[in-house]
Amino acid sequence: MAAQGTLPPECAELIEELAGLFRDSEGIFGCDDMFDYMARRVHAVQRATNPVLRRFWDAAGGSEPGAWHEIPPVPVAAFRDVPIASGPAEVVFRTSGTTGGAARRGEHHVASVDLYRTAARPNYRRHLFGEDGAAARTPSAAASTVALVSLIPHPAAAPDSSLSAMAGFIAREPEVAHATWAFHPRRGVDAAAFERAARAASHPVLLLTTAFALVQLLDALGDAALPLPRGSRLMETGGFKGRVAAVNRAALYRRVGDVLAVPESHIINEYGMTEMLSQAYDGAAGHAGPAPSRVHRFPPWVRTRALDPLDLAPLPHGDVGLLAHFDLANAASVCHLLTEDLGAVTEDGGVRLAGRAPGSDLRGCSLTAESFLRATRGRGPG
Amino acid sequence: MTEVPPATDDSSASGRPVIDGWVWPPAAPPPTSLLQIRAGGVDIRHPKPDLDLAGRLVASLRASARTLAAIPSRELIACLGQAGESFVGSIGDKGSRRIAQNAGLSRAMTAEVVNGMAATWSTEALEGLVYAEFPDPRVLDGFVPDNERLVAATAPGITLHLGAGSVPGVTVTSIIRALLVKSPVLAKPGAGDVALTVAFAQHLGRVDPLLGAAVAVQYWPGGTAPWARWEQELFAAADQVVVYGSDTTVESVRTRTPASTRLIEHGHRVGVAVVDPTGDPRAASDAARAVALFDQEGCVSTHLFLVLGDRAAAREWSGELADALSKIEFALPPGHAPAGELSAIHQMRGFLEMDAASGRDTELWYRKGLRWTVIMGSLDGFSPAGGRTAWVIPAADVAACLQALSPLSPVLQTVGIAGIGEERQALAEGLARIRATRVVPLREVPFPGAEWLHDGQRPLRELVRWTELH
Q: Is B468 left (phi over 0), alpha (psi -120 to 50) or beta?
A: beta
Beta strands, E only, chain A: 74-75, 91-94, 107-110, 146-150, 176-181, 183-184, 188-189, 205-210, 233-237, 267-271, 280-281, 302-307, 321-327, 336-345, 351-356
Pairwise CA distance, residues A139 & B136, whole Å:
93
User: ipTM higher than 0.85?
Assistant: yes
Contact at CB, B301 and A59, closer than 8 angstroms: no
- Residue A234 distance to chain B (closest CA, Å): 30
Separation in Å, CA A359 to CA A241, A309, A365, B146, B387: 14, 12, 16, 54, 12
Contact at CB, A359 and B338, closer than 8 angstroms: yes
- Domain ranges in chain A are 9-105, 113-301
- How many C-beta atoms lie closer than 10 Å to residue A96's C-beta? 19
Pairwise CA distance, residues B164 & B433, whole Å:
29
Pairwise CA distance, residues B439 & B416, whole Å:
6
Chain B residue with the nearest C-alpha to that of A377:
B407
Per-residue pLDDT of chain B (470 residues; tens, 9 = 90+): 555 554 444 566 678 899 999 999 999 988 888 999 998 889 999 999 999 999 999 999 999 999 999 999 999 999 999 999 999 999 999 999 999 999 999 999 999 999 999 999 999 999 999 999 999 999 999 999 999 999 999 998 999 999 988 899 999 999 999 999 999 999 999 999 999 999 999 999 999 999 999 999 999 997 788 899 999 999 999 999 999 998 889 999 999 999 999 999 999 999 999 999 999 999 999 999 999 999 999 999 999 999 999 999 999 999 999 999 999 999 999 999 999 999 999 999 999 999 999 988 999 999 999 999 999 998 888 989 999 999 999 999 999 999 999 999 999 999 999 999 999 999 999 999 999 999 999 999 999 999 999 999 999 999 999 999 99
pLDDT, position B435: 95
pLDDT, position A377: 63
Q: Please check whether residue B404 touches A, CB under 8 A.
A: no
- pTM, two decimals, is 0.91
Pairwise CA distance, residues B438 & B54, whole Å:
38
Which alpha helices (H) appear in B13-148, and where do they start and end? 51-70, 73-103, 107-118, 123-133
DSSP B379: G
Q: Please check whether residue A82 touches B, CB under 8 A.
A: yes
pLDDT, position A1: 42
- Residue A92 distance to chain B (closest CA, Å): 18
Q: Of A79, A77, A78, A8, give the one whose Cα is nearest residue A46.
A: A8
pLDDT, position A241: 47
What residues contact A260, with CB distance under 8 A and at least 6 apart? A198, A207, A225, A226, A227, A228, A232, A234
The answer to whether the beta carbons of residues A255 and A226 sit under 8 Å apart is: no
Pairwise CA distance, residues A52 & B90, whole Å:
58
Per-residue pLDDT of chain A (382 residues; tens, 9 = 90+): 445 578 999 999 999 999 999 999 999 999 999 999 999 999 999 999 999 999 999 998 877 899 999 999 999 999 987 889 998 999 999 987 644 444 578 899 999 999 999 999 999 999 999 865 443 445 455 668 999 999 999 999 999 999 999 999 999 999 999 999 999 878 889 999 999 999 999 999 999 999 989 999 999 999 789 999 999 999 999 744 434 434 578 889 999 999 999 999 999 999 999 999 999 999 999 999 998 889 999 999 999 999 999 999 999 999 999 999 999 999 999 999 999 999 999 999 999 998 887 776 666 777 777 777 777 765 443 3
Helix (H, G, I), strand (E, B) or coil at A159: coil
Please say whether the dihedral angle defined by the alpha carbons of residues A3, A277, A100 and B304, taken in this order, is positive or negative: negative
DSSP B269: B
For A105-144, what is each residue's pLDDT tens digit? 889 999 999 999 999 999 999 999 986 544 344 545 566 8
Q: Please check whether residue A354 touches B, CB under 8 A.
A: no
pLDDT, position A240: 43
Contacts of residue B104 in chain A, CB cutoff 8 Å? 360, 362
Q: Please check whether residue B348 touches A, CB under 8 A.
A: yes
Top CATH class, A113-301: alpha beta
Domains annotated for chain B, with CATH where assigned, are 2-268 (3.40.605.10), 270-444 (3.40.309.10)
What residues contact B252, with CB distance under 8 A and at least 6 apart? none
Give the burial class of B142: count Cβ atoms within 10 A of its Cβ; 0-12 exposed, 13-18 middle, 19 or more buried.
Answer: middle
Pairwise CA distance, residues B337 & B350, whole Å:
19
Residue of A80, A360, A363 with shortest CB distance to B337 = A360
| Chain B stretch 349-378, residues whose beta carbon is closer than 8 A to a beta carbon of chain A | 349-351, 353-358, 364, 368-369
The answer to whether the beta carbons of residues B351 and A341 sit under 8 Å apart is: no
- How many C-beta atoms lie closer than 10 Å to residue B316's C-beta? 14
Helix (H, G, I), strand (E, B) or coil at B421: coil
- Tell me the one-letter amino acid at A297: R
Pairwise CA distance, residues B218 & B202, whole Å:
12
| Chain A stretch 330-349, residues whose beta carbon is closer than 8 A to a beta carbon of chain B | 338, 340, 342
DSSP A105: -
pLDDT, position B9: 47
Contact at CB, B167 and A364, closer than 8 angstroms: yes
